[in-house]
Structure 1
Amino acid sequence: MVGHLVTVATCNLNQWVLDWEGNLKRIIESIQIAKKAGARLRVGPELEISGYSCLDHFHELDVYTHSLEMLRRLLLDESTHGILLDVGLPIMHRNLRYNCRVICLDGKILLIRPKMWLANDGNYREMRHFTPWMRPRETELFHLPKDLAKVQDETHVLFGDAVISTPETAFGAETCEELFTPKAPHIDMALDGVEIITNSSGSHFTLRKLDTRLQLIMEATRKSGGIYLYANQQGCDGERLYFDGCAMIIVNGDVVAQGSQFSLDDVEVVTATVDLEEVRSYRAAISRGLQAATNNARYQRIQTPFELSSEEEDADITKRPTLPIQPRIHSVEEEIALSAGCYLWDYLRRSGTAGYLVPLSGGIDSCATATIVFSMCRIVMQALKEGNPQVVEDVKRIAVYNGAGVLPKTPQELCNQVFTTIYMGMKKQSSRETRQRAKDLSEAIGSYHVNLDIDDVYEAQKKLVVNTINFEPKFKVEGGTVQENLTLQCLQARIRMVTAYEFGQILPTARGRPGGGSLLVLGSANVGEVTHLRIGLRGYLTKYDCSSADINPIGSIDKDDLKRFIGWAEKNFDLPCLHDFLTAVPTAELEPITENYVQSDEADMGMTYQELTIFGRLRKLNKLGPYAMFQRLVHDWSVDRRRTPGDDAPAYTPAQVAEKVKRFYHFYAINRHKMTTLTPALHCNDYSPDDNRFDLRPFLYPPFWKSWSFKRIDLELARIEKKLANDKA
């Protein structure tokens, strides 16, 4: 007889691209933790040996050479024996590059399983780097390099789509994207009697995504029964994506174990004890038998005598199956605070720099960026309190508070060491309110604050034009032209960029911070400003202005979500000063303030931030061009449509909708070139306009005002207005 209680393990790993020995160390640590918990099967994240985000490094032979070298070291490490391992790495086979799982036991490879369905949308370009295995349920021989052949005591191992059979059960592996495909491999595996499915993922975070992912994973076993082990990368592995962990174990559609979604732990192992008899009873009770009996998808089973359970363990009355739990899903506000905070800490500790600097304008966007840094400090302090050894080591290196070996005691103390805010005002343009809000926020979060004016630098730079071409540009309120007004606004904005980097480079040295180095400058342009660059030729995102930075934590978060986050942080972070940012009128403060005029973002743009969010989602997520967007919004924004409680959508006439859609696309097109220089933004939304990785569109367009798209809008508008006139008559 064989047992039926099995302890299994999955994990979140904070891997880093090309950190070969560091990645291996974390893999081995996860295996040791799993063994200590009694697990007999362990699965890790996708491409865990190399790191997921190697991108075009996957074209380099070194990556494949070093991956196999690390695999050899893993196989030789006897502390990893005594447990079935599912490990991810890239492998070259017959001159083709594959994204693979290696199933191994006691220092020997049982199977190399290549990924069959590659992620090739949004942020993913796996087809650029790998070849999919297009032969379901087929295997062939893989020729091992000499060093691995010595470890294996054989020259070849099986390569392809197969499953592993143990005395009491069978398990099969699928990789990330395969779960999301219409006919996922786990369906045929389950019909062929496979009871345990492992999924190794490199799945990135976006706001509100976890619920979708969770439902897919639960559904993987709800329809056909089974045990599902989901592993994921966690943290920043070198790109603008944050991988949000949340390793899980699911039995027959119920979550029995769930790891953290956001954490500073480099290694987190999730274990559960599962009952194989529950799977068999569940499958017997559902409409599965006939499909399983007639299913022609039969898998080759690789036999191993290794037992995942035992009669002795089954007889242990203290051992029982892990009970189902309610899945944990964070609110959007928590997701912003935790994802961006964890990402910034990973970036800071791995970049070797001294901290962050934010140009704090007194507006809500730079306020949100500063609050996210404070969130990072809160997360770090919690990790210090919990005794996280890696965080302790990093804080000692980056942010010694008061003498060697002394650590900060509060988030504010940590913030003061790693974070500088700088208000760069102008005597005529900057209001007392924005200057005071910046000062109040700095004091509340503890940042090292610099308050200065840039008038002297601005006047000196302006005199270059006056002295060289004998022409003095003026602002619009002073009688200047649009181009003069724009020139002076851009001048201020670019001076602020230079000033921010100047202080970012010198402040750590001037303050005597440990290690010297520079501060990384953070950007604070939200997704609406980025998507709709400089509408009305105003300075909302001047190319190479203070929006030019090293990282932009809020670059793919819209204004509405940022406001919700600030409102949440006001209460949860005990920062009452944030209320003033929420009620302030958004303004760039790049034009002189007079008794009759204060610059307003939304007035200058000719549309609200709410409308910008709608435009951005329809353009990217719904793939709507100008004409299709007009057709959609003329109904969604109709003044005559029936409204339901809570419906706050705009109400416009068809002509007003046409004007707004045209205005959006016109200025989007003429300023599209600026997106090629956008500061890398933490990816948080699927309508991010980042053209370097995510939003691939041209940056030189024909004039939209003369385009057929706009003429077609005019024809449709005329048809609608004619019908409205006839209806009234």
Structure 2
Amino acid sequence: MPQYVKVATCSLNQWALDFDGNRDRISSSIRSAKAQGARIRLGPELEIPGYGCFDHFLEQDTTLHSWQVLRELLQSDATDDVIVDTGMPVLHRSVLYNCRVLIHNRRILLIRPKMWLANDGNYREMRYFTPWTRRGETDEFVLPEIIRSLSGQETVRFGDAVVQTRDTCIGVELCEELFTPDSPHIAQGLDGVEIFLNASASHHELRKLSTRVELIREATLKLGGVYLYANQQGCDGDRLYYDGCPLIAVNGSLVGQGTQFSLQDVQVVSATVDLEEVRACRSAKSRGMQAASRSQGNRQGQGFERIFVDFEVSKNTSEALLSEHPSKSRDPFYHLPEEEIALGPACWLWDYLRRSRTQGYFIPLSGGIDSCATSVIVYSMCRLVYEQAALPDKTRAYNKEQVDTSKLVLEDLRRIVGEKEESDWIPASPQDVCNRLFVTCYMGTSNSSADTRNRAKQLAQAIGSYHIDLNMDLIITAIVQLFTLVTSQTPRFKVHGGSSAENLALQNIQARLRMLLAYLFAQLTPWVRGQSGSLLVLGSANVDESLRGYLTKYDCSSADLNPIGAISKTDLKRFIAYATTAFDLPVLQSFLDAVPTAELEPITADYVQADEADMGMTYDELSIFGKLRKVSKCGPWSMFSKLVVEWKDTHSPTQVAEKVKLFFFEYARNRHKMTTITPSYHAESYSPDDNRFDLRPFLYPARFPFQFRLIDQLSAKLPDQSRNERVFRAMK
């Protein structure tokens, strides 16, 4: 006979240290799960204080306030007739753990500490927490007085145990533990656990979701079982955007998937699963032999300690059998990388804007593809906001979650743009939103072309931004005259006979002035428009330029936020090509057709400044260098060793050697710029973000004499296979 269970998982837009808001979103998700008939509700990792508290986890206040919020949840009827899995830091025997707290009917069932901590890339969990290393073991945990007086419990079990109901067994696997080779779900499943709960705080990275989905499906493909995955969503106070996408899988098949990018603060996904299907999947004799013979944890031959709760999660009445049906298997949905760029940074920008209590964004719009892409991402944010804010007037045929979301978005939008509380203003279009939230400014000089000025103006008109067009020559001339007055020397551009030092200094004057003017206009433009407050300045240096150091320190790349700081030039071009059609912005084609240029040097009949010529390498090559350096962990020697093989048909060994040496030289001597880089949305696995994601020095022996000497020696010995390829192509 079928044994149906309704389970629910969620994504919540939690905010570090926002204890009131976090509590309300947790309560809302539990109410929604129960309204959908769920008997088990799973929430994101550390959802009570927020995952991104970082060093605030070292403060006793954070742990205390988490217990206080948990008490409020237990006081309410939220946990009546449902098993709730929530997350918070817990201090046990003077050791701080990242824990899941399972509660039911206003009582705590189990506190399960995390065993494998995320401690690389963007994560530093071992800076705050200690892993629980005693697999299969538990301690007695004395509850704080504020919980004892409420629940009547003196102690609960703390450690690696599972929860046994009258009809099934539930195990916990915490985020990173899914990604480890010896994942806890394997031992749990062989010991009879049928429902696995995984609370996560997994950030968005381009093309990453498929890895997460496949690991979840794989977890139950051979093992059998029901797997629930919850995730944090939104910007909780840092460079990361947690991309939600709660998931439910059964026996290797996906039966529930939430959205990856959304303005919803609370999203609950539920599914009806049949426990008998799990048991049928596990009927293989070889699996039974492994389960019967394997000793779990450290309790020799006894399996995991089971915490019994007198509760049934399944519905096996005749009425349930007639009314319920197992959720159908479905294929996972993945956004194209271009869509991820359109949605992820846009949602991150909206969270930052509404939570920072500022009035909008400002960008120096140059007419190049980088500031264009940044502006289009802001426009994408405006499109998402408009879709929600205008929803109440469009239709009433939507669910309560949509109503709540649209109401909150409209309230935030009205507050940000300065509408009074009693206002009934609703935006008429995405451009209407953009005009109220976004200021673009073309900062021209005598080195600027009419083409870039016109492109900037046309893009601003298309997206609806409030646009400013100014010329900086007067200020530049004054600065140069001041230098001449002090030194009696007048610097000249290279094309006018100046030295490299003069040429670079004159370029940097323009670049740094743009930063100064950007902050001036960001602070005062709202005042000019009769509004209050100020704007956040957006930077627009892409990941490849930052990696190469092809930017001026403290120029217009220095800003409050940078939505594209960890996105490659190649991906940005694909995004612009996508947005040309998807956003109905034909003007974007002119940005794709233009040659990338900083326009900091005079244009002559024989010379036009071009980015790739200046850098000595292409943007595509920079992406390759970046991935080999960070993801493949290559130094100069190993990078050359890989590329001399991969590029053998197109480059001679000496050409590969020169490119690798040039990259490492420029990377090393410009690494100091990363110490002051604008906080950027993390979207790429080779981001050079200093001391946060990329822990490398900023003072190098930039010419790498030992490494480069080995490269030169080997490249001189290797044959040039690219000649054969060129001859072959010529013969064809």
Q: Per the shorter chain, which TM-score range? A: over 0.9
CA deviation string 1:64-105 (max 9, x = no partner)? 111111111111112332211100111111111100000111
Question: What is the aligned counterpart of 1:411 among 401, 421, 430?
Answer: 430
Q: Which stretches in structure 2 are left out of the alignment for 5+ residues?
A: 297-302, 392-401, 728-732
After TM superposition, give the deviation of residue 720 of structure 1 in Å.
Answer: 1.2
Q: Is 1:325 equivalent to 2:325 in the alignment?
A: no
Counterpart among 482, 489, 494 of residue 471 in structure 1: 489
**Where do residues 128-527 of structure 1 align in structure 2 (5 Å cutoff)?**
128-285=127-284, 287-297=286-296, 298-312=303-317, 315-384=320-389, 385=391, 387=403, 388-399=406-417, 404-427=423-446, 429-513=447-531, 516-527=532-543
For 1:451, the aligned partner's letter is: D
Distance 1:317 1:722, change over 3 A: closer
Query: For residues 64 and 480 of structure 2, what CA distance do their matches in structure 1 show?
Result: 57
Q: C-alpha deviations, 1:505-559, integer Å up to 9, x for none? A: 001121123xx1111011101111000013xxxxxx1000000001110011101
Cα pair 1:543 1:674 within 8 Å, conserved: yes
**What is the rounded CA distance, in whole Å, between the counterparts of 1:717 and 1:78 in structure 2?**
72
- 2:598 matches 1:588: yes
Amino acid of the structure 1 residue aligned with 2:411: E
Matches within 5 A, 1:523-562: 523-534=539-550, 541-562=551-572
State the distance in 2 between where 1:33 and 1:85 align.
Answer: 13
* Length-normalised TM-score, structure 2: 0.94
**Which one is further off, 124-133 or 143-152?**
143-152
User: Could you tell me whether the CA contact under 8 Å between 2:101 and 2:112 is conserved in 1?
Assistant: yes
How far apart in 2 are the matches of 1:231 and 1:469?
Answer: 64
Aligned to 2:620: 610
1:154 deviation in Å?
2.5
Question: 229-238 or 287-296, which moves further after superposition?
Answer: 287-296
SS at 2:215's partner residue? helix
Cα distance in 1, alignment partners of residues 286 and 559 from structure 2: 57
Give the conservation status (yes or no) of the 8 Å contact 1:401–1:414: no
Contact 2:654 2:716 in 1 (8 A): no
The one-character-per-residue Cα deviations of 1:128-173 (angstroms, maximum 9, x if unpaired) are 1100000111111111111111112122111001011111101011
d(CA) in 2 for partners of 1:371 and 1:489?
Answer: 27
Q: Deviations over 1:384-441 (max 9, x none)?
A: 22542211111111136899330212100000000000000002x0000000000000
The CA distance in 1 between the partners of 2:75 and 2:423, in whole Å, is 40
Decide whether aligned partners of structure 1 residues 725 and 595 sit closer, same or farther in structure 2, where only a CA change above 3 A counts.
Answer: closer
Counterpart CA distance in 2 for 1:292 and 1:163 is 16
Range moving further from structure 2, 26-35 or 278-287? 278-287
Instruction: Specify the code of the residue in structure 2 equivalent to 1:676.
Output: T
User: In 1, are the aligned partners of 2:218 and 2:252 still within 8 Å (CA)?
Assistant: yes
Query: 2:396: which partner in 1?
Result: none
Task: Name the SS for the 1:317 alignment partner.
Answer: helix
Aligned-pair identity in percent equals: 57
What do residues 619-660 of structure 1 show as CA deviations (whole Å, max 9, x unaligned)?
A: 111111111111111111123xxxxxxxxxxx2211111111
For structure 1, the 5+ residue unaligned runs are 535-540, 640-650
**Aligned 8 A contact 1:400 1:407 in 2:** no
- Counterpart-to-counterpart distance in 1, 2:334 and 2:419: 35
User: Does 1:89 find its partner at 2:88?
Assistant: yes
Indicate the RMSD between aligned Cα atoms, in angstroms.
1.8
C-alpha separation in 2, matches of 1:104 and 1:45: 15
Aligned amino acid, residue 659 of structure 2: K
Shift of 1:312: 2.6
Helix, strand or coil at the partner of 2:153: coil
Asked whether the 8 Å contact 1:45–1:201 carries over to 2, the reply is: yes
Tell me by how many angstroms 1:316 deviates: 4.4
Q: Specify the alignment match of 2:706 in structure 1.
A: 708
Helix, strand or coil for the counterpart of 1:347?
helix
> What's 2:582 paired with?
572
Distance 2:325 2:39 in 1: 16
Q: Distance in 1 between matches of 2:172 and 2:611?
A: 52
Please tell me whether the aligned partners of residues 221 and 252 of structure 1 are also in contact (alpha carbons under 8 angstroms).
yes
Deviation at 1:286?
7.1
2:717 equivalent in structure 1: 719
Q: How far apart in 2 are the matches of 1:556 and 1:164?
A: 42
Alignment of 1:624 with 2:634, yes or no, is yes
Name the aligned partner's letter for residue 466 of structure 1.
T
User: What corresponds to 1:599 in structure 2?
Assistant: 609
Q: Give the CA deviation at 1:725.
A: 12
Q: Which moved more, 1:381-390 or 1:437-446?
A: 381-390
Whole-angstrom CA distance in 2 between matches of 1:61 and 1:546: 40
Instruction: Report the Cα distance in structure 2 between the residues aligned to 1:591 and 1:382, rounded to whole angstroms.
Output: 43
Residues 395 and 464 of structure 1, relative CA distance in 2, 3 Å threshold: same
Inter-partner Cα distance in structure 2 for 1:31 and 1:703 = 56
Q: Secondary structure at the match of 2:322?
A: coil
Partner of 1:646: none
1:561 maps to a residue whose letter is: D
1:127 aligns with 2:146: no
Q: 1:327 Cα deviation (Å)?
A: 1.1
Contact 2:2 2:321 in 1 (8 A): no
1:337 Cα shift? 0.4
When residues 314 and 610 of structure 1 are mapped into structure 2, their CA distance, relative to the original with a 3 A threshold, is: same
1-structure distance, mates of 2:407, 2:147: 34
Q: Which amino acid aligns with 1:718?
A: A
Number of equivalenced pairs: 706
Could you report, residue by residue, the CA deviation over 1:663-708 in whole angstroms, capped at 9, with x for unpaired residues? 1111111111111000011000110110131000001112425x20
Matching residue's letter, 1:67: S
The whole-number CA distance in structure 2 between the counterparts of 1:41 and 1:684 is 33
Q: CA deviation at 1:348?
A: 0.5
Deviation (angstroms), 1:315: 4.2
Report the CA distance between 1:12 and its aligned residue.
0.5
CA distance in 2, matches of 1:136, 1:656: 54
1:175 is paired with a residue whose SS is coil
2:435–2:464 CA contact under 8 A, matched in 1? yes
Shift of 1:461: 1.4
Task: For 1:110 and 1:725, locate their aligned partners in 2 and report how far apart those are by CA, in whole Å.
Answer: 71
Change (3 A) 1:606 1:151: same
Provide Cα deviations, 1:206-256, integer angstroms capped at 9, x if missing partner: 000001110000001001100001000011011100001110111101111
**Structure 2 contact 119–126 (Cα < 8 Å) conserved:** yes
Q: State how far apart, in whole Å, the 2-side matches of 1:621 and 1:311 are.
A: 50
Quote how far apart the aligned CAs of 1:323 are: 1.1
Q: Comparing 244-253 with 390-399, which one deviates more in the overlay?
A: 390-399
Match for residue 28 of structure 1?
A: 27
> 1:595 and 1:142 mapped to 2: Cα distance?
79
In 1, distance between residues paired with 2:713 and 2:620? 27
SS at match of 2:140: strand
Deviation at 1:287? 3.9
